Amino acid sequence: MGTIVFVGAGSMAEAIIAGIVDGGVMHPRDVFVMNKSDDDRLSYLQQKYGVSIVCPERKALRDAELIVLGTKPKDIHQAMADIAGFLNENAAVLSVIAGVSIATIECGLGSRPIARSMPNTSATIGKSATGVSMNHAVDEQMKRRILTLLSGIGIVKEVQEDELHAVTALSGSGPAYIYYMVEALEEAAITEGLSKEIARELIIQTFEGASAMLRQTGEEPSVLRTNVTSPNGTTEAGIKALEKNSFKKIIAECIQSAETRSRELGSTSSSATMKE
């Protein structure tokens, strides 16, 4: 892949930079980064990963094959206005900004190849579960390059753009749900007499083991659950408590609420574009 420019220098931009540089997907000399005002942040990325800072003349933008939009959602319209006049007509765009539609980016940066993705915070350790959608201008070669880039931070699945709302609700916000469940398990374990340190280690290993079983066995989760659940045993007692308190309904409402909020944010972004 040719030159890549990251517009925005936050944690997600750093996660992708780390994935593609440390993983050998890109040479640091071909990666540039810019943001609105934080020069210290740019210097940090330059020193840690060997990438370059976009100069005031914006030459890197003119030469870039791919632009990665990683600003905060509230800053995206100004960011696009700042760079639009410098992009070459063949440059593709990859957005990692929640709630910003492909149509919004087309409005700000013109008709060109555009991909919209939803990584999660586990990208910082190369374990993201990312969904991506692309417009019809993305050819097979660019598609492979974008998928390769996103694979540098974890797994990536191509979906329809409208499905990104569900992806956001499931895997985009998903780590927070897991952490919240860990909090609850830890508090319950401490109440039953375990120390916080022992509870934390047991919980982490339990999650890792269950994830590995799902991946390595290929079994349905219901089958694995049944295999653990002896009649009249401790697991059955725990499962019955979850069922009594409508655990599956709670999870469904969680995903539905997050998905609805994702659509609301997308609608707000689109409305702002139309007003402009």
pLDDT in tens, 50-65: 999 999 889 999 999 9
- What is the per-residue pLDDT across 31-56, written as a single tens digit (0 to 9) for each? 999 998 888 999 999 999 999 999 98
For residue 274, pLDDT over 60 is answered with no
- What is the per-residue pLDDT across 189-246, written as a single tens digit (0 to 9) for each? 999 999 999 999 999 999 999 999 999 999 999 999 999 999 999 999 999 999 999 9
For residue 30, pLDDT over 60 is answered with yes
Residues 118, 103, 52, 148: is their CA dihedral positive or negative? positive
* Global confidence as pTM: 0.88
Confidence of residue 269 (pLDDT cuts 50, 70, 90): low
**HSE (side-chain half, CA atoms, 13 Å) at 44:** 11
Report the run of H or E that residue 49 belongs to, with start and end.
helix 39-49
Residue 168 near residue 261, CB atoms below 8 Å: no
For residue 272, pLDDT over 80 is answered with no
Q: What pLDDT is attached to residue 233?
A: 97
Mapped onto helix, strand or coil, the DSSP state of residue 141 is helix
Q: What pLDDT is attached to residue 273?
A: 52
Confidence of residue 275 (pLDDT cuts 50, 70, 90): low
Rounded CA gap, 149 and 167, in Å? 19
CA distances from 58 to 83, 84, 108 (A): 8, 11, 18
Mapped onto helix, strand or coil, the DSSP state of residue 25 is coil
